[in-house]
Chains A and B, each alone.
Chain A
């Protein structure tokens, strides 16, 4: 593809004859069927990356990672909200940013978009530094705020028109998004339900065909059916080459749609892994009761006591574990498969103990 030419197979609508044509992305070509002589137009589709290259200078597009956070810290007065975090979001992936409320997810996101100033460290979004290229960054980024607030006195349409006017684009993608999300665009936003507002938030974020979409808990307020629809929509958008950064406190949705996940806890990234690798970290969750006093069981440093039960997680060495606990008089024993949920909780517990 060095010369930018693309091959495309076409099928003549009249005689079903199949043949191949060449053309540049975005080119509109007159094609004549060499079988029956029918003439028609074919437009070569552009990928998002190709579309953007034309509208901006190449330098803004030569970035490797969609988001690159390095040693970012943010304090509010005396409270450290984000503590020296670093991670990268690759282009074209769906990246999950998982953590409970108050872990620093929103702070990180709002720093990336320039609403908050970092106390230390920096980040590149779309290859541009957040310290001095915010307007250019915002051109390539769509954003769904965690606490979504829209201009309630406007109708859905007026609100979208306002944003597309600021972005200096038209509403050409609106029809496509509207068929998916079906919004009452002529009604005032103040009459919208929470789910409708959230859908409008989604539509405005994707409307300008952004390279990167940053979403802060976008599924909050969506009913389960809509959530499923939204997940499918994200998968579809991923196939178009869009990068998506997705924060959530719900593990199951991150597991379902993300390629990689960073787990944030009290302002620190405690894990950053591919979902598949995370799932491979199998192990067993062991719960047992012993006749001896619980304090005597000392060989498992991460063991916890819950309602008289001793609970701990073991990764691979089930044989070793059983032999260790065999020294005690076991009253009751449960061995469970280790779920992703447990991995998640374990990351938190470990942190808590430290």
Chain B
């Protein structure tokens, strides 16, 4: 029989995590290219948009973006990046994609019935959840890092003013946001035996959280609605513009990650795997 330390060593070999990384390397590559491309495009487009944004700001047209934090500052480079790139592409679109992939990861093994042969090897179900989680992290890290470098290079190329430390900070604090999405996605994935169902539910959750927080931003009466949204705890504008990080928000995101992972581990451990 195995001792606890042997079991931990077994998990630390991360075989399932490594296989997950291998399985997703193509998706990682494509998403990295896509999001870096978007980052380059938005940063590079700013000079062309600047004048229009200033005019929009003066005429009050920007007020229609009031659901996005930092909208008032859209005519500046930082404000523009925050709005176009981080709020939309990062929080919403990348959030949806990562959530989609995470939610499919366990359900697809059950749907395709490969779970039987995987679990006939000496792994526990809890270990599968942990390893899948770690296997999905590199994707987020790579997309983040490459997109950050792209923004830096584009900023230098167009000669705009941007605090690179603030930029790094923005990308760093986006990690807990995506970790929590992966963890919730994994939990959703254990609830369904069909990957499409799990993924669609997870997408709906990410979109719903975006909408909740947007409503909370616009209508003060509904401020509490934002509290149940993960997006509420990740504010790229404050980091990008002022270098401020919301410590409580980050801790909440990390706690959500841990709780969702534990929930996924226990639920998956408890459930019957039926075909």
B-binding residues in A (CB < 8 A): 56-57, 59-60, 76, 110, 113-117, 128, 133-136, 138-139, 141-143, 145, 147-151, 153, 162-163, 165-168, 201, 204-205
A135→B126 CA distance, assembly (Å)? 11
Smallest CB gap from B271: residue in A: A117
Please indicate the chain B residues that have their CB under 8 angstroms from the CB of A148 in the complex. 117
Please indicate the chain A residues that have their CB under 8 angstroms from the CB of B2 in the complex. 135-136
Contact B116 A149 (CB under 8 A): yes
Distance in angstroms from A23 CB to nearest chain B CB is 30
Distance in angstroms from B265 CB to nearest chain A CB is 14
Distance in angstroms from B84 CB to nearest chain A CB is 36
Smallest CB gap from B111: residue in A: A149
Q: How many A-B residue pairs have CB under 8 A?
A: 78
Given A138-B120, A148-B117, A163-B121, check contact A116 B273 (CB 8 Å): yes
Given A57-B1, A168-B13, check contact A116 B274 (CB 8 Å): yes
Contact A135 B117 (CB under 8 A): no
Q: What 0/1 pattern do residues 101 to 134 of B give for CB contact below 8 A with A?
A: 0000000000011111101111110000000000
Does B272 lie at the interface of the complex (its beta carbon under 8 Å from any beta carbon of A)? yes
Please indicate the chain B residues that have their CB under 8 angstroms from the CB of A204 in the complex. 117
8 A Cβ contacts from B118-173 to A = 119-124
Q: What 0/1 pattern do residues 252 to 275 of B give for CB contact below 8 A with A?
A: 000000000000000000101111
Given A142-B120, A166-B122, check contact A117 B272 (CB 8 Å): yes
Smallest CB gap from B113: residue in A: A149
Please indicate the chain B residues that have their CB under 8 angstroms from the CB of A151 in the complex. 114
Size range of the chain B interface in the assembly? 20 to 34
Determine which of B18, B121, B273 lies in contact with A115 in the assembled complex, contact meaning CB atoms within 8 Å.
Answer: B273
Please indicate the chain A residues that have their CB under 8 angstroms from the CB of B23 in the complex. 153
Given contacts A60-B1, A76-B274, A145-B113, 17 further A-B contacts (CB under 8 A): A56-B1, A59-B1, A113-B120, A115-B115, A115-B272, A116-B274, A133-B1, A136-B2, A138-B120, A147-B113, A147-B116, A149-B112, A150-B114, A162-B15, A165-B15, A167-B122, A204-B117
A227→B7 CA distance, assembly (Å)? 38
A147→B113 CA distance, assembly (Å)? 8
Contact B116 A166 (CB under 8 A): no
Distance in angstroms from A3 CB to nearest chain B CB is 27
A-binding residues in B (CB < 8 A): 1-2, 7, 10, 13, 15-16, 18-19, 23, 112-117, 119-124, 270, 272-275
A201→B113 CA distance, assembly (Å)? 13
Contact A145 B116 (CB under 8 A): yes
A135→B124 CA distance, assembly (Å)? 6
Given A110-B116, A133-B1, check contact A167 B274 (CB 8 Å): no
Distance in angstroms from A197 CB to nearest chain B CB is 11
Contact A136 B113 (CB under 8 A): no
Distance in angstroms from B270 CB to nearest chain A CB is 8
Given A149-B113, A151-B114, A165-B15, check contact A113 B272 (CB 8 Å): no
A145→B121 CA distance, assembly (Å)? 12
Please indicate the chain B residues that have their CB under 8 angstroms from the CB of A166 in the complex. 15-16, 121-123
Please indicate the chain A residues that have their CB under 8 angstroms from the CB of B1 in the complex. 56-57, 59-60, 128, 133, 136
A42→B116 CA distance, assembly (Å)? 41
- Nearest first, the 3 closest Cβ-Cβ pairs linking A and B are A149-B113, A143-B120, A145-B116
Distance in angstroms from A4 CB to nearest chain B CB is 23
Distance in angstroms from A64 CB to nearest chain B CB is 17
Distance in angstroms from A111 CB to nearest chain B CB is 9
Smallest CB gap from A138: residue in B: B122
Most buried by A among B1, B113, B272, B275: B1
Distance in angstroms from A300 CB to nearest chain B CB is 43
Contact B121 A138 (CB under 8 A): yes
Distance in angstroms from B59 CB to nearest chain A CB is 54
